[in-house]
Amino acid sequence: MNEASAWRIELARSIAGVYAQHPQICMAALGGSAARGLADAYSDMDIAIYWHTLDHDWLAAPPLQAVGGRRFTFRTLFEGQIVVEQYTLGAVKFDVAHFALSWLDQSVAAVLEQGSLDDEKQEVLDGFLTAIPFYGIHEYEAWRTRIAAYPNTLGEAMVRRHLVFYPQWVLEQHGLARGDLLSFYSTLCDMMRNLLGVLAGLNHLYMSMEKPKRSADMLRRMPIQPANVAERFDALLAGDRAAAPAALAALINETIGLVEQHMPNVDTSRARQMQQFVVQAVEYAPPLANTPTRPPVPTTSAK
């Protein structure tokens, strides 16, 4: 736990106390980088408040104005089941997300029972597991136990969705050889995102692929991974561009091997075939074999 996280946790505890005075609030917690002990000078705070029944009228007047908070965002989402506030307090920015308990229950059921890979639900469930609860701790732990029971079928679905990788020559030929760096880095990041998705499924971790923040921390939480994967990820983006395609291909092949080892029910044959597919540079048009002779076009006599 670093110093930047420690004072944010205590500040968040005080802020959550303002909301906890409302009788309909059942749980309050701090998520994000501060809860994981990873905050820095640029980190905001992510506070989650869970309600039996959301009191929209009470929230309409900024509840934190009395303690010096200046609200600059107030939005209602999902037909009133979620309310999002954003504040500044001095130079500190913090987000307060309010969830109806019924929405949380529906979301947990959708993921655990129906196999939903919805990014927003994945983000909420991962945040729930890693957050620091301030109020309703007993109830929070009961929910945490339920959410932590990550089903094997969900992991397999996550792996199948992200087991899509271009072969090495795409980066080399379509990106580097053409000097198209936007295409190069866009493709590279897409493949790295899919690697994260496969590894998240293998390790039964909820993950929003729409917002893959703090990927190094996520990778450190994964016991099943290629060797030194966090350092290799950094090298792909910050190292020698010419070395990146081969380095990425090695990571992809190692990750496919982990799928074959730990999830034998997942078919990796298509992913293997794609990695072996090769396209060569072509300078001349190839000859056509057995070109059919076209029949003469009949002519019509003029009348």
Q: What is the pLDDT of residues 109-168, one digit of tens each?
A: 999 999 999 998 999 999 999 999 999 999 999 999 999 999 999 999 999 999 999 999
Instruction: Supply the pLDDT for residue 208.
Output: 86
Q: In angstroms, how far is CA 281 from the centroid of its own chain?
A: 36
In a domain, 142, yes or no: yes
Mean pLDDT along residues 240-256: 97
Contact between residue 44 and residue 95 where contact means Cβ atoms under 8 Å apart: yes
Cβ distance 45 to 16 under 8 Å? no
pLDDT at 107: 95
How many CB atoms are closer than 10 A to CB 227?
8
Q: Are residues 114 and 31 in the same domain?
A: yes
Q: Note the pLDDT tens digit of each residue in 190-224.
A: 999 999 999 999 999 998 877 666 788 889 889 99
Length of the chain: 303
Confidence class for position 277, pLDDT limits 50, 70, 90: confident
- The amino acid that residue 263 corresponds to is M
Indicate if the pLDDT at residue 300 is higher than 70.
Answer: no
pLDDT tens figures, 37-77: 989 999 999 999 999 999 999 999 999 999 999 999 999 99
Give the range of the structural domain holding residue 206, as residue numbers without chain letter: 155-276
Whether 298 is covered by a domain: the verdict is no
pLDDT over 60 (residue 289): yes
Q: Is the pLDDT of residue 261 over 60?
A: yes
Do residue 223 and residue 98 come from a single domain? no
CATH code at position 50: 3.30.460.10
How many domains are contained in the chain?
A: 2
Q: How far is residue 199's CA from residue 159's CA, in Å, rounded to a whole number?
A: 7
Whether 251 is covered by a domain: the verdict is: yes
